[in-house]
Amino acid sequence: MKDIIIAIDGPAGSGKSTTARLVAQKLGYIYIDTGAMYRAITLAFLKSGLEFNEKNICKLIEKITISLNYTPQGQITLLNGEDVTEAIRTNEVTNLVSPVSAIHCVRNKMVSQQQMMGKNGGVVMDGRDIGTVVFPNAQLKIFLIASIETRAKRRQLELLQKGVNLTYDQIKKQIIERDIYDSTREISPLKKADDAIEIDTTNLTIQEQTNLIISLAQKKILEINNE
């Protein structure tokens, strides 16, 4: 049975990570959250105390290693071998991750690492540029969208469960800023690949959007294995 690459892109709060994880679980695929890699670099930068500029960040990434491990409990993010899975989710990291991920050397390094990780297929990879840049030949590309109100509410709930208490307005503003940054940057901006299937999750439950993608994936897997 030939395994495929499933690319799931979309803006913050569109439901990518939960959906991608559940789709991967159902198919027996590996779920790769590429945003975690950009977050780990951002954390390394914050810890370094360096001034924010391209030169400093490019020097820094030569000295660090980012890796992802897979356990039955989910993806573990390692920065220089240290588990930073929780540490990369702070508000401080979220506020700086978009400018860091817009830097050329950061994208070059992360994209080639992601291409290595997914090259044998059997992966569900989520991010901003998976279907356009990382795997433009992915057999199934999904672009998730949702209204800004829904995305902000989802993010607020997610943060509350982690004990982070931000107001709805603060979160909405943060998401809008990140959307602008991620979709207007010069290198590999967030945009729907021409051959991606767009799914609006505003009025869908996680189960509904997951089932929809699983059925698209199963159809594609059958198609490819019958060729």
Query: Least separation, in Å, of the C-beta of 39 and ligand DC?
Result: 6
Among 182, 196, 201, 209, binds ligand DC (CB under 6 A): 182
Choices 79-87, 94-102, 147-155, 160-168 (CB under 6 A): range interacting with ligand DC: 94-102
Tell me the one-letter amino acid at 171: I
Query: Least separation, in Å, of the C-beta of 223 and ligand DC?
Result: 26
Site for ligand DC in 95-154 (CB under 6 A): 97-98, 101, 127-130
Q: Is 222 exposed, middle or buried (0-12, 13-18, 19+ CB in 10 A)?
A: exposed
Pick the closer one to ligand DC by CB: 75 or 224. 75
Token duo for residue 24: 């991967």
**Nearest 10 degrees: CA dihedral of 106, 107, 110, 112?**
-130
Among 6, 12, 138, 146, binds ligand DC (CB under 6 A): 12
Query: DSSP characters for 68-133?
Result: EEEETTEEEEEETTEE-TTGGGSHHHHHHHHHHHTSHHHHHHHHHHHHHHHTTS-EEEEESSIIII
Site for ligand DC in 29-68 (CB under 6 A): 34-35, 38-39
Site for ligand DC in 183-222 (CB under 6 A): none
Residues that bind ligand DC (CB under 6 A): 12, 34-35, 38-39, 97-98, 101, 127-130, 178, 182
